[in-house]
């Protein structure tokens, strides 16, 4: 066990050198209530403000992969509520069918050569949106994506930051999947027991590292740094130790308490370690009830969106909740979304 842990630890440390131009670290957890609701919590950690806004996108939108000739084309089957990233990517969201998706940083991500694949092209900025637009469940998404219907194009983010990410999916049945591109191939980990995801190393190594900490026991000792593998261990133990309740208000508060526990204080970053950065915002998604809670670090209170109050029917206009300037918001805010031209996916 200790030899395996040492090997995984060395791999984890080596991974921190892969993306020194960027500093990003996020955590995602999937909590099940005692009455079969499932709630996703996540932190968005980044070294600078990623200028996140919220959007509602209706069914029936004509879409394309966003990278010019050869881009994949589709029409959205499901309306969605999403949080963007630099107005160039869908960072996370939930669709009206109850599929939730969360995009997190992965330094080891390797999408391969899109030109060599001869497949339709999709910007990495549209990866999350494509899934929310097209699938109702994790199983549906996994079945379709196993065929690799597109090739990912991953232009740099603003400031020359390398695009590198993996994706977590969850639905109202509690099903879960982690999607990673490694060595140019899509790797899918599909099991409802995959309830925690952070950053480096890749997910299978992260599970191996966590096995060591499970053997130690969280009551005795938990690793305390902001590194991805340590956050994984703390999030995993806290998630499994937290009582599973039916009261929705308590359940939401429980998930917020878990992700606050593994948040990185504002102002802290470590440019030499790309998986440590300040938490910029937190979100909690109540899948069954289609409620999305959002907590910017600079906001003194939580606000939320009820999907049933959004205009998601065919023919409705995309709408934006502009968070520029850090407005002070609280309560349910669906009525504050304003029709707007959709952002364009990250392009070359």
Query: At residue 97, what are phi and psi to the nearest 5 degrees?
Result: -85, -10
Give residue-wise pLDDT tens across range 273-322: 655 789 999 999 999 999 999 999 999 999 999 999 999 999 999 999 99
Question: Out of 18, 26, 40, 94, which one is annotated catalytic?
Answer: 26
CA–CA distance, 204 with 194 (Å, rounded to integer): 11
Q: What is the pTM of this model?
A: 0.91
What domains can you pick out in the chain, each with its CATH number?
A: 2-339 (3.60.60.10)
26 a catalytic residue: yes
CA–CA distance, 84 with 56 (Å, rounded to integer): 11
More reliable by pLDDT, 6 or 160: 160
Helix extents (H) in 79-226: 114-117, 127-134, 138-145, 203-216
CA–CA distance, 225 with 16 (Å, rounded to integer): 14
Residue 223 clears pLDDT 80, i.e. is over it: yes
% of the chain beyond a pLDDT of 90:
78
Give residue-wise pLDDT tens across range 133-180: 999 999 999 999 999 999 999 998 877 788 999 999 999 999 999 999
Question: What residues are paired with 166 via a beta bridge?
Answer: 104
CA–CA distance, 42 with 30 (Å, rounded to integer): 9
Cβ contacts of 41 within 8 Å, gap of 6 or more: 28, 29, 31, 255, 256, 258, 259, 282, 283, 284, 285
More reliable by pLDDT, 300 or 270: 300
Cβ contacts of 320 within 8 Å, gap of 6 or more: 53, 54, 55, 337, 338, 339, 340
- Average pLDDT of span 334-344: 98
Instruction: Please give the mean pLDDT across all residues of the chain.
Output: 90
Tokens linked to 66: 């966003």
Contact 29, 196 (CB under 8 A): yes
Give residue-wise pLDDT tens across range 64-79: 999 999 999 999 999 9
Question: What residues are paired with 285 via a beta bridge?
Answer: 40, 292
Contact 205, 12 (CB under 8 A): yes
Give residue-wise pLDDT tens across range 9-59: 444 444 433 333 345 679 999 999 999 999 999 999 998 899 999 999 999
- Average pLDDT of span 208-218: 81
């Amino acid at each position: 066990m200790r030899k395996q842990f040492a090997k995984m630890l060395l791999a984890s440390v080596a991974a921190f050198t892969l993306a020194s131009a960027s500093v990003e670290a996020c955590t995602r957890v999937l909590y099940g209530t005692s009455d079969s609701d499932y709630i996703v919590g996540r932190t968005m950690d980044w070294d600078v403000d990623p200028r996140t806004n919220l959007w509602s996108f209706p069914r029936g939108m004509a879409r394309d992969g966003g990278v010019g000739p050869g881009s994949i084309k589709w029409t959205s089957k499901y309306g969605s509520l999403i949080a963007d990233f630099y107005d160039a990517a869908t960072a996370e969201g939930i669709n009206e069918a109850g599929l939730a998706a969360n995009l997190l940083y992965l330094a080891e991500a390797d999408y391969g050569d899109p030109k060599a694949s001869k497949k339709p092209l999709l910007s990495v900025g549209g990866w999350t949106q494509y899934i929310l637009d097209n699938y109702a469940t994790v199983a549906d998404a996994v079945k379709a994506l196993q065929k690799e219907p597109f090739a990912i194009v991953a232009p740099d983010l603003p400031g020359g930051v390398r695009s590198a990410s993996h994706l977590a999916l969850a639905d109202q049945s509690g099903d879960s999947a982690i999607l990673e591109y490694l060595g140019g191939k899509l790797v899918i980990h599909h099991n409802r027991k995959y309830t925690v995801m952070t950053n480096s190393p890749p997910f299978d190594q992260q599970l191996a590292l966590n096995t060591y900490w499970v053997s130690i026991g969280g009551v005795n000792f938990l690793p305390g740094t902001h590194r991805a593998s340590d956050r994984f261990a703390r999030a995993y133990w806290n998630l499994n130790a937290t009582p599973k309740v039916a009261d929705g208000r308590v359940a939401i508060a429980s998930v917020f308490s878990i992700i606050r526990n593994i948040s990185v204080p504002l102002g802290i970053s470590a440019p030499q370690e790309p998986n440590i950065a300040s938490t910029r915002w937190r979100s909690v998604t109540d899948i069954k009830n289609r409620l999305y809670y959002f907590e910017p670090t600079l906001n003194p209170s939580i606000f939320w969106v009820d999907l049933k109050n959004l205009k998601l029917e065919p023919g409705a206009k995309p709408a934006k909740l502009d968070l520029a300037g850090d407005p002070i918001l609280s309560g349910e805010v669906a009525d504050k979304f304003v029709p707007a031209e959709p952002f364009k996916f990250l392009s070359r």
